[in-house]
C-alpha cells in the first residue's frame, strides 16, 4: 500500500509507504510491482545499490548518457536532501529541479524516471541511501552536471558545506554539457 504524489515535474513522484507499527517496531513494503504498475509506474528494476555517506557529502548531479536509469530512491538511516533535474529535451520543465527530504523516519521515496540527473546531500551525521535501477550501471557511460549550476538553481541546504568527490567538482554546467534525453 502506497501513496503516490506527483511533484511539480511530470513523472517524478514522492511515494509514501503504508507503515504498520506497534510497540515492537514496524513493518512496511518498500516496493510492490503490482501497486507501482497500477499507479502507472511500470519499471523493470534490475539492480539495487546502497551507499553510506557522512554529513555534507553531496553526490551528483549524475546521469547515464546512453543507458539512462530510472531510480526509486530511499533512505534507510539518516537524512538526505534528494534532487532530480529534468534533462528531457521535449519536456516543458527541461532544466528544472525537484527536491525532497528523505529520512529513515518519514520513509518517503522518490521515483525518478529516465532522463534526469540525480544527486543528494547528507543532512544527518551519516546516511545510508538505497536505490533500485531499471538499467545496470555502466561506469564508462557516466555523466554529470555541476551541483551548483546557476541556470538550474538547486536550493541546497545553505548551512552545510558540501563535500564533493574530485569527479563531482569537475562536472560542466547544463549548457556546457548540452545533454538531453
R_g over Cα of the chain: 16
131 is catalytic: yes
Cα 90 from Cα 175, distance rounded (Å)? 16
> Number of H helices and number of E strands within the chain?
2, 13
DSSP for 10-56, written as a single string: TT-EEEEE-EEEETTEEEE-S--HHHHHHTT------EEEEEEEETT
Torsion of CA 18, 23, 25, 30, to 10 degrees: -10
Q: Are 71 and 135 within 8 A, CB to CB? A: no
Please tell me the distance from the alpha carbon of residue 133 to that of residue 110, in angstroms, as a whole number.
12
Given 62, 63, 118, 171, the catalytic residue = 62
Question: Of 13, 43, 63, 131, which one is the catalytic site residue?
Answer: 131
Return the active site residues: 62, 131
Amino acid at each position: 500500500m502506497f501513496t503516490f504524489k506527483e511533484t511539480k515535474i511530470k513523472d517524478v513522484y514522492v511515494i509514501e509507504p503504508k507503515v504498520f507499527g506497534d510497540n515492537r517496531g514496524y513493518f512496511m513494503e518498500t516496493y510492490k510491482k503490482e501497486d507501482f504498475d497500477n499507479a502507472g509506474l511500470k519499471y523493470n528494476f534490475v539492480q539495487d545499490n546502497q551507499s553510506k555517506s557522512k554529513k555534507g557529502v553531496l553526490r551528483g548531479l549524475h546521469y547515464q548518457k546512453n543507458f539512462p536509469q530510472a531510480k526509486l530512491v530511499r533512505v534507510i538511516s539518516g537524512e538526505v536532501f534528494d534532487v532530480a533535474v529534468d534533462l528531457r529535451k521535449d519536456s516543458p520543465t527541461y532544466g528544472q529541479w525537484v527536491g525532497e527530504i528523505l529520512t529513515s523516519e518519514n520513509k518517503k521515496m522518490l521515483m525518478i524516471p529516465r532522463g534526469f540527473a540525480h544527486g543528494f546531500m547528507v543532512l544527518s551525521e551519516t546516511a545510508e541511501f538505497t536505490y533500485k535501477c531499471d538499467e545496470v550501471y555502466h561506469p564508462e557511460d557516466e555523466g554529470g552536471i555541476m551541483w551548483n549550476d546557476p541556470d538550474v538553481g538547486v536550493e541546497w541546504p545553505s548551512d552545510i558545506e558540501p563535500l564533493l568527490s574530485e569527479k563531482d567538482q569537475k562536472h560542466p554546467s547544463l549548457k556546457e554539457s548540452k545533454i538531453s534525453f
